[in-house]
Structure 1
């Protein structure tokens, strides 16, 4: 990489760490930047997954107050996320690179749709909670439906991480009766689990660009703290516009390769 490419990857890591801690979809920032440096899509994906682990952990630490009392929930949901993340990682390397290059533009497109619809999802979650009221006593951990949903979402996350956090927030927001901040804290832990499981598998079976890994790791660690402390103050609309713009660039790059 040139010095300018290294700076771009580092900046993308900071942005991704911040965005992932707030809502998710930071991969839509880092992935197209890695492609622009000339990395093959699969190498970019596995390098990104490993590099974002410190950022996910940093974000989870930043939300440690909201994690209080969620040990049992995280153990249950985290087990499903770990299994799903491993399956997704296996699929990434088992399928031929041509399959990845065909599937990922579709996945990025779906992720962008989720980013655009995120305000509607949040509104639907809020209305559902108001409708349930205080007399409803559902499973505090979401029950089998949430575990199944998170398992499938984590397969996606292990294969390609873009917008997995938004999927987690949507599922848990709909099926858990808890504050969105506590749900977001759980989301950060689940994302860290999936990234760690997938990246550990990749260490034994895939090729990394270690410069990209290091730059994203340092950047996302800083971004994780920014997201936990000041990221909530960012205008949501501006953030979504940025993510959609970068994601669109990623789709164009993938289709033109």
Structure 2
């Protein structure tokens, strides 16, 4: 990787870190950038995942105020993200990539629909539960597990999927949902990163360029993204999801 290629990947890392903190689709910026500089797609995916971990941390830290009171919830949902991430990471290394190529756009599209209808759906679900589970119950746990599998495999727009799930099953404002999403995405990325470091081929120069950029971007997104009004944030999430589908289908 030349110095100019490293600078380009670093810049992509900044954008990805900020996007991940606010919405969650940063891999759609960094992954193509790594492939464009000549890195094998699987190695690029692995290196990208590892590199985005520091940005996930700074993004979650930026939302620390919105995380107040969510410790028990995250302790319940966190293992689902970790287990799912391990499964997804193993699939990435051993499964034919074409298997997920058709499924991924469908998942992103469904998550966008969930984000749009989340306010009404959340109220509908709460009204029909005798005792609303403040942590979403078994169904949400299984949904987070599925999102973890997807995130460990590829991860682009896993934040959109998580927001759609969390927002539909939790009676929380969207910014608090986004804060929980950041922590769960951090668990997914961190778990997959450990797996990839142990058993996969990694381009460490690519990791370094993405990591430094994503750390800066995550801080920016975590600091300013939490100030975005819920309707605007919802619109951004859906737009990013639509772009993700277009890039995955036609990119």
SS, match of residue 138 in structure 1: coil
What CA distance in whole angstroms lies between the structure 1 residues aligned with 2:80 and 2:58? 22
Q: 140, 150, 154: which is aligned to 1:146?
A: 140
How far off is 1:64 after superposition? Answer: 0.4
What CA distance in whole angstroms lies between the structure 1 residues aligned with 2:82 and 2:88? 10
Post-superposition CA distance 1:163-219 (Å, at most 9, x none): 111111111111111111111111100011111111101111111111110111111
**Kept after mapping to 2: 8 A contact 1:31/1:250:** no
Change (3 A) 1:71 1:208: same
Unpaired segments ≥5 residues, structure 1? none
**Kept after mapping to 2: 8 A contact 1:51/1:217:** yes
Do structure 1's residue 46 and structure 2's residue 49 form an aligned pair?
no
Q: Which residue of 2 aligns with 1:161?
A: 155
How far off is 1:130 after superposition? Answer: 4.5
Q: Which residue of 2 aligns with 1:198?
A: 192
What CA distance in whole angstroms lies between the structure 2 residues aligned with 1:243 and 1:173? 15
SS, match of residue 64 in structure 2: coil
Change (3 A) 1:199 1:222: same
What CA distance in whole angstroms lies between the structure 2 residues aligned with 1:146 and 1:165? 15
Change (3 A) 1:244 1:174: closer
Change (3 A) 1:139 1:129: same
Q: 162, 178, 182: which is aligned to 2:176?
A: 182
Q: Which residue of 2 aligns with 1:227?
A: 221
Change (3 A) 1:242 1:144: closer
Change (3 A) 1:200 1:121: same
**Kept after mapping to 2: 8 A contact 1:25/1:164:** yes
Count the aligned residue pairs.
246
**Which 4+ residue blocks in structure 1 deviate beyond 6 angstroms?**
234-240
Q: Which residue of 1 aligns with 2:118?
A: 125
**Kept after mapping to 1: 8 A contact 2:122/2:171:** yes
Q: Which residue of 1 aligns with 2:211?
A: 217
Q: Which residue of 2 aligns with 1:5?
A: 5
What CA distance in whole angstroms lies between the structure 2 residues aligned with 1:243 and 1:147? 22
Change (3 A) 1:221 1:191: same
Task: Output the TM-score relative to the length of structure 2.
Answer: 0.87
Within 5 Å, which residues of 2 pair with 1:10-159? Answer: 10-95=10-95, 99-100=96-97, 102-103=98-99, 105-106=101-102, 109-110=105-106, 113=109, 118=112, 120-131=113-124, 132=126, 137-159=131-153
What CA distance in whole angstroms lies between the structure 2 residues aligned with 1:216 and 1:172? 28
Unpaired segments ≥5 residues, structure 2? none
Post-superposition CA distance 1:91-139 (Å, at most 9, x none): 11122xxx12x2454355346646xx73x43331112345546x97410
SS, match of residue 25 in structure 1: coil
